[in-house]
Structure formats: C-alpha cells, structure tokens
Amino acid sequence: MSGWRAADGGPVIPNFGHGTACLRNNHWFCPSWVREHWSDILQPALLQHIYLLLISVSIGFAISFALALVAFRFRWLGPTFGALGDFLYCLPSIALFTILLPITGITVTTIVIPLIAYTLFVIYPNILAGLRGVPPEVLESARGMGLTRRQTFWRVELPLAVPAIMAGLRVATVSTIAIATIAAFVIHYGLGAPIFDALEQPDFRTELVAGGALAILLALGADALLALLQRALTPWSRIR
C-alpha cells in the first residue's frame, strides 16, 4: 500500500500480536489473533461503523422523504432531482471524502456527508416510485369514503408505498456499509480502518479477512433486520 493519508492512526509496529505459527505464516484466518484483538481493534471499529451507518441512513432517509414529498406535490421537480442524483452517483466516493477534508476536517462529518449523498440516490427514487405507484382506483375509493387529501396520504398512499420504501432503505443500508469502508483511506475510522491497516503491513491476512467479514456480516444482519421491520409494518401483505 502506498498513497497519501490525512489521518494516519495506524500503528507503527505491525500489530501481529504474539507470534503463533498461524500468524508467522500469515494464514488467512487466525482465531487467536481475533480473540486477542477483538476488544481493542475489531469491536471499536464495528461500533464506529454502526454509528456511521445509523447517522447516514437516518439523515439520508429524512432528506429523501422531504424531497420525495416535494417532488410528489410538484411533479415538474421530479426529473430535476433525479438528474442531480444521477450526477452525484457518478462521482467516485473517494473523491468526495478527499474534497471535504479541507472543509470539514478530520471528523466524522467528512465521512458522513458523502454517505448521506449516496443514500439519497437510492432512497429518494424509491419513495417517489412507491407513492406514485398507488393505483388510481384505490385513490378513487379513498375519496369515495370521504377521506381528505391529508388523510388519503397518511392512511392510504404512505402505507401502500412501504414495500418500495423499505426496498430502497435496504439497498441504501447495505451499500452504505460497503462505501463506508472506503472512507478509512482518508480518515482512520470504522471497519475500513483494520482493512487498510492490514493492507499496509504488508497484507496481514487475518486482520484483512476479519475486517471484511465483519462488514459483510453487518450488512447481512442489517438487511435481515429491515426485512423483519418491513413484515411488521405491512401486516396486510401476510394475509392471503
């Protein structure tokens, strides 16, 4: 690994731990190292990653929801927002992290702003598609039942959009976990930190595999939780 790092928090002495045969031969996965460094390397990184995830996805969801409401109300804004999102998604994440560095400094904000931007691209179109996908005959019967515009939105349109919204939320969550590992190139934080440390000394396999595996497990776990949440939010879809 070569390259420039703003915050080099990596250890100077390679953290191989005690020299078991497994570590000396740099095997793919040494459980002893993972046990030994769970509390000082892996667990903090995992918790930092979860923190990044929660902030980015919740703020991203709130902004997406507001944008989708505006675009739902004023239809002509939809394509404008969509085009902006497409452009943003084409910018590489590393560039966004690097550009923000002189502005927001070596802080969590620098990592979180690009992550939020990427969640918008996924969540916003899904909310809008979900709201617009409600069949006209359903809206017609809601009006027939005497619901006001506001009641129709909260009781009919929004609940029916839940599956599409949740689909967007799941994709955004999983991709945010993956993109956030890249951020550690610029700021030593989250599960990317052990991955980049492992690559720097040079290619310490156990730490690399442990960091990567934790990121994948976190993504699959978060995805499963959201799938359960979706089931809980749409009880009608189970009655068939």
Partner 1 sequence: MILASLFIDALRYIPDHASLLLEKAAETAELAFTALGIALVVAVPLGLWLGHRHRGLTFALGTSSIGRALPTIAVIGVFIAWLGVGFWNVTTALVILAIPPLLTNAYFAVDGVDRDAVEAARGMGLRERQILARVELPLGLPLLLAGIRIAAVFVIATATIAGIAGMERGGLGQIIADPVTYTFPGVLAAAFCVAAIALLTALVLALAQHAASRRMAPRA
Residues near partner 1 (CB under 8 A) are 1-4, 86-87, 89-96, 98-99, 101-103, 171, 174-175, 177-178, 181-182, 185, 191-192, 195-196, 198-199, 203, 205, 208-209, 211-212, 215-216, 219-220, 223
Gap between the terminal Cα atoms of the chain: 55
Nearer to partner 1, 116 or 156 (CB): 116
Find, among 106, 155, 158, the residue nearest to 130 by Cα.
Answer: 158
Distance in Å, CB of 155 to partner 1, minimum = 31
How far CA 16 is from CA of 19, 198, 201, 213, 236, in Å, comes to 7, 10, 9, 18, 53
Nearer to partner 1, 26 or 148 (CB): 26
Distance in Å, CB of 37 to partner 1, minimum = 17
What string of DSSP letters covers 36-55? HHIIIIIHHHHHHHHHHHHH
Chain centroid to CA 185: 17
Q: Using CA atoms, how far apart are residues 8 and 12, in angstroms rounded to an integer?
A: 10
Distance in Å, CB of 210 to partner 1, minimum = 10
Report the SS3 class of residue 60: helix
Nearer to partner 1, 165 or 177 (CB): 177
Q: Using CA atoms, how far apart are residues 95 and 92, in angstroms rounded to an integer?
A: 6
Distance in Å, CB of 3 to partner 1, minimum = 5
Nearer to partner 1, 4 or 76 (CB): 4
What does DSSP assign to residue 8?
-
Distance in Å, CB of 50 to partner 1, minimum = 14
Angle at 189 between CA 35 and CA 31, to 5 degrees: 15
Nearer to partner 1, 2 or 39 (CB): 2
Distance in Å, CB of 59 to partner 1, minimum = 19
Nearer to partner 1, 98 or 230 (CB): 98
